[in-house]
Amino acid sequence: MSRQNAFHEFGALRFGRRAEFDQAEMQRVHEAVRDSGIRDLYVLVHGAHNDEAVAGATDGAFRDMLADAWQDAAGTAGLLGVRWPSLCFRDEGLRGVAEHERDRERKACPGISRALREDLERQLPDSAAPLAEIVALLNDGPSHEGAYDDLGSALRRIAETPLQDPLNEFAADTEGEVLPQTDPLMLFEDTKTMCSEFAAALCDVTGPADEKPGEPARTESGTRDSDPPASSGGTLPEARVAGHRPATPLSNRVSTTGTVAAGGPVGQDRHLQDAAYLWRGAHELFRQVVRHVLRRRAGVVGHAGLGPCLAALAEASETRIHLIGHGLGGRLAGFALRGMDSPGSDSVKLASLTLLQAEMSHFIFADSLPQQVTGHGALWDQRRLVDGPLICTFSHLDTHLGVMYPLSAQMVGDSAELATMSRKWGALGFDGIQGIDGPPHITLHDAEERNLSEMPYTNVDASSLFRSDSAPVGGHHHVVHPEVGRLLRKAAESGVPK
């Protein structure tokens, strides 16, 4: 039996920068899903939407993986894509980017290729002037001091929003704190210092995956009863919700307390005089500022766009909906839960939610924030909108989420004086859901034998598969494997029927 006969495809829903979408297209999807008679519909959200070739190749890889997983159950499952204005840099090992093009991008660093510039202009159309300035600076790599100030100014212009802009409500993954988190430190710290910080982080994570630190700290059994590692620190109650950490951090820069770990004032560190070194760091700083803008956008599109569409789809069909979010798409998928929760109406529910290397805080579901007096995760009360499993995969060899994310997620006016950077600003896709008492940590192999609905949350350690030498992102995009297809089918079959 061919995969095409076993698996339905429903195209993609398309959303704009402010979550706008075509109601007629939504109606078409409703009717197509209803008429297909399928039982399970996967809705896929990712962040690789540089152009149609990259987005289509990524969608296609997930489609083929799911079709293989369902090949013995003809006509029972299908896939709906989600297109939104997002992008990933072309040196990250994306599908749809040829290997020779990826290598050319890496060799050109810190310069920006024409293809990447076109991606940026396409997805950030309101930032044409600062983008042109940044591209020129990165391509030229000037050594004069004022160039770094010019870079910082242009980066801030890309990220800035008016004070009352609703976008600002989606800048953080935590809420209710004494100091609201809206502005990342990387935009307001001395730009040259930040270039040095990211350059040093790049040095830490380059090299073959097998030679890097970051191997899982726990045994391969994956049993939920294993003790928290001694490195978790904190009080005993805090340690129970700290989750497992890698035996050796990917970078010592995220194992320190405080904020930026730079080597003193400008001029004291020889690296601060090395223009080539600093501009490589500037390239990574630029990547992280772009991703900050896209993470904020993902929250808006999830809350005001995909969430209401999923609620309408669930109401109009008997099909069970299984939401999958990868990377930046993981944040969009998470915030879609908030968009499904309409005040004054009966809440509709997803059958399952799977977050693959999600790019958001590991405290996003926490009802309180360890080592803080106030606050909670932005999705702390949204678990009730998922009937079946809520699964988070993580990899200790995802260098993007393990190193670059904590550095870029630090907020102005905040610090980690009582915790390391990776603890306070850690990512869901690096060490799993934290701040929740009891989520089991299991391997992908274990997941095939477990009842995925037995716990409210399940962390799946995929470090053995989600690993590659695609510096600086490591295994972040390396998520399409037969084992993942089987996990997604198991999540669907563990869901509670409507």
DSSP string across 100-120: HHHHHHHHHTTS--HHHHHHH
Number of H helices, E strands in the chain: 18, 10
Residue type present at position 28: R
In the predicted model, what is the mean pLDDT of residues 461-478? 89
Long-range contacts formed by 343-350: CB under 8 A, 24+ apart: 347/384, 347/385, 348/310, 348/311, 348/314, 348/315, 348/385, 349/314, 349/384, 349/385, 349/386, 349/387, 350/310, 350/314, 350/321, 350/322, 350/323, 350/385, 350/386, 350/387, 350/388
Count the domains in the chain: 1
Alpha carbons 172 and 156: distance in angstroms, whole number: 17
Whether 68 is covered by a domain: the verdict is yes
Instruction: State yes or no: pLDDT of 32 exceeds 50.
Output: yes
Instruction: State yes or no: pLDDT of 29 exceeds 70.
Output: yes
Alpha carbons 299 and 338: distance in angstroms, whole number: 10
For the chain, report the end-to-end CA distance as a whole number of angstroms: 29
Q: What is the CATH number of the domain that holds 57?
A: 3.40.50
Whether 124 is covered by a domain: the verdict is no
In the predicted model, what is the mean pLDDT of residues 327-349? 87
Give me the residue label for tokens 């990220």.
159
Whether 418 is covered by a domain: the verdict is no
* The model scores a pTM over 0.75: yes
Whether 218 is covered by a domain: the verdict is no
Q: Residue 96: helix, strand or coil by DSSP?
A: coil
Residue 454, H or E segment: none
In the predicted model, what is the mean pLDDT of residues 246-266? 65
Residue 166: band (very low, low, confident or very high) from pLDDT cuts 50, 70, 90: confident
Task: Kindly tell me the burial class for residue 129, based on how many C-beta atoms sit within 10 Å of its own C-beta (0-12, 13-18, 19 or more).
Answer: exposed
In the predicted model, what is the mean pLDDT of residues 217-233? 38
* Residue ranges in 208-327 assigned as alpha helix (H): 236-240, 275-301, 307-316
Q: In which domain, by residue range, is 29 found?
A: 3-88+291-398+426-457+478-494
Interaxial angle between packed helices 328-340 and 275-301, expressed in degrees from 0 to 180 and rounded to the nearest 10:
20
Whether 255 is covered by a domain: the verdict is no
Whether 31 is covered by a domain: the verdict is yes
Residue pair 187/153 in contact (Cβ under 8 Å)? The answer is no
Rounded to the nearest 5°, which phi and psi values hold at 79?
Answer: -130, 135
Whether 325 is covered by a domain: the verdict is yes
Rounded to the nearest 5°, which phi and psi values hold at 22?
Answer: -90, 115
Residue type present at position 329: G
Instruction: State yes or no: pLDDT of 147 exceeds 50.
Output: yes
Whether 452 is covered by a domain: the verdict is yes
Instruction: State yes or no: pLDDT of 203 exceeds 50.
Output: yes
In the predicted model, what is the mean pLDDT of residues 360-377? 88
Residue 234: band (very low, low, confident or very high) from pLDDT cuts 50, 70, 90: very low
Buried b (16+ CB within 10 A) or exposed e, 329-350: bbbbbbbbbbbbbeeeeeebbb
Rounded to the nearest 5°, which phi and psi values hold at 434?
Answer: -130, 170
In the predicted model, what is the mean pLDDT of residues 297-306? 97
Interaxial angle between packed helices 146-159 and 275-301, expressed in degrees from 0 to 180 and rounded to the nearest 10:
10
The confidence score (pLDDT) of residue 469 equals 72
CA atoms within 13 A on the CB side of 244: 29
% of the chain exceeding 70 in pLDDT? 84
* Residue ranges in 9-127 assigned as alpha helix (H): 23-36, 52-69, 99-108, 114-123
The confidence score (pLDDT) of residue 229 equals 41
The confidence score (pLDDT) of residue 4 equals 54
